[in-house]
């Protein structure tokens, strides 16, 4: 069975900028694949090449084993990072207009309910809140009953409650068997939604796998976090990292007890000590040296 | 294909019709212009205009002392029938020919013709010039300028209404979103043309009907012929708007380019005044503009009673321009900015 989507050696160059540098990956049918990276990593450009809205400088894209063609446009649903909709048009008219552009059609009533748009059907697009607007854009991406959905940073700018509601929506779509390609710079979002992720930086994929697998591959330890102001002594004998912006010291350790012993003599107290498992943000930081939200 | 075109067409119509500010402006502006101009130009033309029947383009004052009379504008008339029609419509106060035998034509109902005749006879010392009367109702300035106002409003609505909107769609990413659907460029372009065409035609018919009723303007030809001219003219102007907007990504640049397209047409296509007495190069340049051909055809139908067959050359030029503009616009069309 061929992959739902396969990108082979994608390259995109702009004058003086190599935006996408030989990117290859495959997305199996029915999974949620996350493309992660900080702003400017090249993830949106990569996805737009696959979607066919940005031409590649080199490389090929395959959809269920065949080069992308008209069936791809018919069967793919896309939610761009920034999409304006027509003014003076209602939510229902927007959905009807987009649905009329496809031969494939989803049950609009079901999409309206799934995306919680029932109460908003007669509202002008201009009068939607950020979360309502994202739900509409997702609904627009679903009007053609897509086999593959692209979600490009869909929760950027949403409040925490709206983000969680949106995640529930995405999970429902995935349960229906729709393949999802999600780009995000929110690690919690990727950890909750994605079956597999690829982390991009400077136009390249630097690692790829399931979130759990990647963390196990990289870490066998725990991370101890302590406020910088609690450090009174010398930490030069302890391997650590100072996070100036957060006012924290991080110590990655395989032996929490031993590290606690060594730390005890160098701090004013351990009341504010936090021990946690490494997450995707730590992984990215370790792999690239960048903060993910840079 | 038709389904996709209709979807975009319908959405664009709804967007326009619900934008009350724009809709009101599109109706109020031409009516206000029309009323204002009819008030300002409610009298006759301020100068005397005398046609000189001759083959040469320039008037040679040495031919006859009358041609040296001050405060009279002398214009060369090459075609006798056209000169007669202008006398009939009071568009010329007098038509003279100094080739043997000298002769002049006058509309007995024209007050300005009467005074122009007095000036002519005063200079005709040997009394050989022969008088021939031609009768007909005057064409008021408001009758003459009405096609210009309507066509100018069409021009602005077509170019800015389409060009600006397409650039806005491109800039805010709406076109990029459409690009990700099966919609093709030609389908989008056709939908935009159809949407704007119907809206502008309805508005123009409404404004024309109101003006004609209010000012009792002249209509010597067929309304159907005039509708065909308006239809084809609209298509040409919308196509020009799409061509201007086919690749532009900035509203500022689009505004500049649209102004560059509209202002020369407004000044040189004969919206406000006749180009008959203008320099030859001005008339040649004016022929490049679609508005000139729309006005020539519309005035010919409204004021001279021409049939569609008689304005066919103008229609063919407009059709050719439409095909060229639309083809280029669809082939170079750009879906996204950046």
State pLDDT tens for residues B52-98: 999 888 888 888 889 988 888 888 898 888 888 888 877 788 999 98
Would you say residue B337 lies in a domain? no
**Contact present, B200 and B157 (Cβ < 8 Å):** yes
Cβ of B180 within 8 Å of Cβ of A80? The answer is: yes
- Length of chain B equals 338
Size of interface A-B (CB pairs under 8 A): 71
Q: Which residue of A has its CA nearest to B177?
A: A83
Its ipTM equals 0.76
The residues on A that touch B, with CB distances below 8 Å, are: 51-54, 70, 73-74, 76, 78, 80, 82-89, 93-94, 96-98, 100-103, 140, 144
Strand, helix or coil at B103?
A: strand
Cβ of B182 within 8 Å of Cβ of A101? The answer is: yes
Q: Residues B196-219: what's their mean pLDDT?
A: 86
Mean of the per-residue pLDDT values for chain A? Answer: 86
The model's pLDDT over B220-255, given as tens digits with 9 standing for 90+, comes to: 889 999 999 999 999 999 999 989 888 887 777 888
Per-residue pLDDT band for B301 (boundaries 50, 70, 90) equals very high
Pick from B133, B160, B186: which residue ends a domain?
Answer: B133
Tokens of B166: 């397409």
Q: Which residue of B has its CA nearest to A98?
A: B7
pLDDT at A134 over 70: yes
Q: b/e per residue, B121-135, with b = 16+ CB within 10 A?
A: eeebeeeebeeeebe
Side-chain half-sphere CA neighbours of B283 within 13 A? 8
Would you say residue A294 lies in a domain? no
pLDDT at A293 over 50: no
**Min Cα separation A141/chain B (Å):** 10
Domain ranges, residue A48: 5-216
Cβ of B173 within 8 Å of Cβ of A78? The answer is: no
The model's pLDDT over A208-224, given as tens digits with 9 standing for 90+, comes to: 898 888 888 777 778 88
Q: Is B70 on the interface with A (CB under 8 A)?
A: no
pLDDT at A9 over 90: yes
Same-domain pairing of B307 and B190 = yes
d(CA A161, CA A27): 29
Other C-beta atoms within 10 Å of A125: how many?
A: 20
pLDDT at B40 over 60: no
Pick from B111, B133, B155: which residue ends a domain?
Answer: B133
Same-domain pairing of A115 and A166 = yes
Would you say residue B123 lies in a domain? yes
Cβ of B15 within 8 Å of Cβ of A102? The answer is: no
Q: Residues A146-152: what's their mean pLDDT?
A: 91
Give residue A292's pLDDT. 45
CA B134 to chain centre: 28
Would you say residue A93 lies in a domain? yes
Same-domain pairing of B173 and B72 = no
State the total domains in chain A.
2
Same-domain pairing of A102 and A246 = no
The model's pLDDT over A176-193, given as tens digits with 9 standing for 90+, comes to: 889 999 988 888 888 889
The model's pLDDT over A63-102, given as tens digits with 9 standing for 90+, comes to: 988 888 778 889 999 988 777 788 889 999 999 999 999 9
Give residue B297's pLDDT. 94
Same-domain pairing of A133 and A264 = no
Per-residue pLDDT band for B21 (boundaries 50, 70, 90) equals low
d(CA A53, CA B275): 48
pLDDT at B33 over 70: no
Same-domain pairing of B248 and B168 = yes
State the total domains in chain B.
2
**Min Cα separation A107/chain B (Å):** 18
**Min Cα separation B333/chain A (Å):** 13
Cβ of A70 within 8 Å of Cβ of B178? The answer is: no
Same-domain pairing of A80 and A136 = yes
Domain ranges, residue B75: 48-133
The model's pLDDT over B156-171, given as tens digits with 9 standing for 90+, comes to: 888 888 888 888 888 8
Cβ of B176 within 8 Å of Cβ of A103? The answer is: no
- B115 vs A266: which has the higher pLDDT: B115
The model's pLDDT over B276-295, given as tens digits with 9 standing for 90+, comes to: 666 777 788 888 999 999 99
- Length of chain A equals 294
Mean of the per-residue pLDDT values for chain B? Answer: 84
- Chain A neighbours among B 4-23 (CB < 8 Å)? 4, 6-8, 10-12, 14-15, 18-19
Q: Residues B320-337: what's their mean pLDDT?
A: 86
Per-residue pLDDT band for A290 (boundaries 50, 70, 90) equals low
Would you say residue B338 lies in a domain? no
Q: Which of B15, B19, B181 sits opposite A98 (nearest CB)?
A: B181
pLDDT at B139 over 60: yes
Same-domain pairing of B307 and B289 = yes
Cβ of A97 within 8 Å of Cβ of B12? The answer is: no
Same-domain pairing of B82 and B148 = no
Q: Which residue of B has its CA nearest to A69?
A: B182
- B315 vs A270: which has the higher pLDDT: B315
- The strand order across the sheet containing A248-253 reads A241-243, A248-253, A222-227, A274-276
Q: What is the CATH number of the domain that holds B67?
A: 3.40.190
Q: b/e per residue, B230-239, with b = 16+ CB within 10 A?
A: bbbbbbbbbb
Same-domain pairing of B118 and B233 = no
**Min Cα separation B261/chain A (Å):** 27
Give residue B336's pLDDT. 72
Q: What is the CATH number of the domain that holds A209?
A: 3.40.50.300
d(CA A7, CA A25): 5
Same-domain pairing of B115 and B168 = no
Other C-beta atoms within 10 Å of A236: how many?
A: 8
d(CA A11, CA A45): 10
**Min Cα separation B241/chain A (Å):** 20
Same-domain pairing of B94 and B186 = no
Q: Is B119 on the interface with A (CB under 8 A)?
A: no
Cβ of B174 within 8 Å of Cβ of A102? The answer is: no
pLDDT at A58 over 90: yes
**Greatest mean pLDDT range, A231-240, A258-267, B197-206:** B197-206
Pick from B102, B133, B164: which residue ends a domain?
Answer: B133
Same-domain pairing of A174 and A253 = no
Per-residue pLDDT band for A149 (boundaries 50, 70, 90) equals very high
Q: Is B3 on the interface with A (CB under 8 A)?
A: yes
Give residue A266's pLDDT. 83
Same-domain pairing of A207 and A244 = no
Would you say residue A254 lies in a domain? yes
* Strand A274-276 with A32-36, pairing: unpaired
Same-domain pairing of B312 and B210 = yes
Percent of chain A scoring above 70 in pLDDT? 98
């Amino acid at each position: 069975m061929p992959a739902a989507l396969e990108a082979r050696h994608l390259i995109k160059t702009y004058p003086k900028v190599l935006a996408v540098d030989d990117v290859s990956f495959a997305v199996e049918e029915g999974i949620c694949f996350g493309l992660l990276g900080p702003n400017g990593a090249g993830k949106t450009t990569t996805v737009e090449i696959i979607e066919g809205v940005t031409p590649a400088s080199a490389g090929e894209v395959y959809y269920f084993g065949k080069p992308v063609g008209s069936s791809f446009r018919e069967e793919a649903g896309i939610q761009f990072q920034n999409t304006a909709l027509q003014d003076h048009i209602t939510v229902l008219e927007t959905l009807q207009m987009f649905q009329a552009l496809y031969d494939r059609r989803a049950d609009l009533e079901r999409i309206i309910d799934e995306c919680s748009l029932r109460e908003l059907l007669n509202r002008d697009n201009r009068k939607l809140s950020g979360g309502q607007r994202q739900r509409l854009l997702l609904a627009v991406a679903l009007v053609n009953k897509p086999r593959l959905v692209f979600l490009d940073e869909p929760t950027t700018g949403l409040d925490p409650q709206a983000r969680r509601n949106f995640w529930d929506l995405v999970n429902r779509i995935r349960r229906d068997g729709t393949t999802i390609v999600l780009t995000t710079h929110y690690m919690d979002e990727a950890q909750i939604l994605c079956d597999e992720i690829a982390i991009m930086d400077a136009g390249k994929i630097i690692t790829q796998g399931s979130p759990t697998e990647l963390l196990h591959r990289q870490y066998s330890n725990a991370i101890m976090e302590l406020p910088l102001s609690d450090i009174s002594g010398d930490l030069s004998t302890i391997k650590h990292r100072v996070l100036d912006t957060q006012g924290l010291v991080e110590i990655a350790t395989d032996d929490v007890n031993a590290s606690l012993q060594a730390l005890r003599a160098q701090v004013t107290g351990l009341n504010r000590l936090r021990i946690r498992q490494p997450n995707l943000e730590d992984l990215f930081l370790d792999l690239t040296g960048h903060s993910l939200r840079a | 294909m038709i389904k996709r075109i209709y979807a975009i067409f319908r959405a664009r119509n709804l967007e326009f019709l619900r934008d009350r500010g724009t809709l009101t402006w599109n109706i109020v502006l031409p009516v206000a212009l029309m009323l204002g101009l009819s008030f300002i130009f409610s009298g006759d033309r301020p100068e005397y205009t005398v046609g000189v029947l001759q083959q040469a383009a320039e008037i040679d004052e040495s031919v006859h002392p009358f041609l040296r009379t001050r405060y009279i504008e002398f214009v060369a008339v090459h075609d006798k029938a056209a000169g007669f029609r202008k006398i009939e419509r009071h568009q010329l106060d007098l038509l003279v020919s100094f080739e043997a035998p000298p002769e002049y034509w006058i509309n007995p109902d024209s007050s300005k013709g009467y005074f122009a005749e007095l000036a002519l006879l005063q200079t005709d010392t040997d009394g050989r010039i022969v008088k021939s009367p031609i009768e007909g109702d005057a064409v008021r300035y408001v009758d003459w300028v009405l096609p210009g106002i309507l066509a100018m409003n069409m021009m602005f609505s077509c170019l800015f209404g389409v060009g600006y909107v397409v650039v806005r769609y491109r800039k805010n990413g709406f076109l990029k979103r459409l690009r990700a659907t099966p919609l093709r460029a030609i389908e989008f372009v056709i939908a935009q043309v159809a949407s704007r065409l119907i809206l502008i035609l309805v508005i123009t018919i409404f404004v024309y009907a109101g003006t004609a009723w209010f000012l009792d303007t002249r209509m010597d030809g067929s309304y159907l012929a005039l509708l065909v001219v308006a239809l084809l003219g609209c298509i040409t102007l919308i196509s020009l708007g799409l061509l201007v907007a086919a690749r532009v990504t900035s509203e500022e640049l689009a505004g500049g380019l649209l102004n560059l397209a509209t202002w020369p047409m407004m000044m040189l296509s004969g919206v406000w005044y006749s180009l008959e007495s203008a320099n030859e190069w001005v008339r040649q340049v004016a022929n490049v503009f679609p508005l000139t051909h729309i006005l020539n055809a519309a005035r010919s139908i409204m004021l001279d009673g021409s049939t569609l067959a008689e304005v066919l050359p103008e229609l063919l030029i407009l059709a050719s321009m439409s095909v060229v503009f639309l083809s280029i616009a669809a082939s170079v069309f750009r879906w996204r900015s950046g």
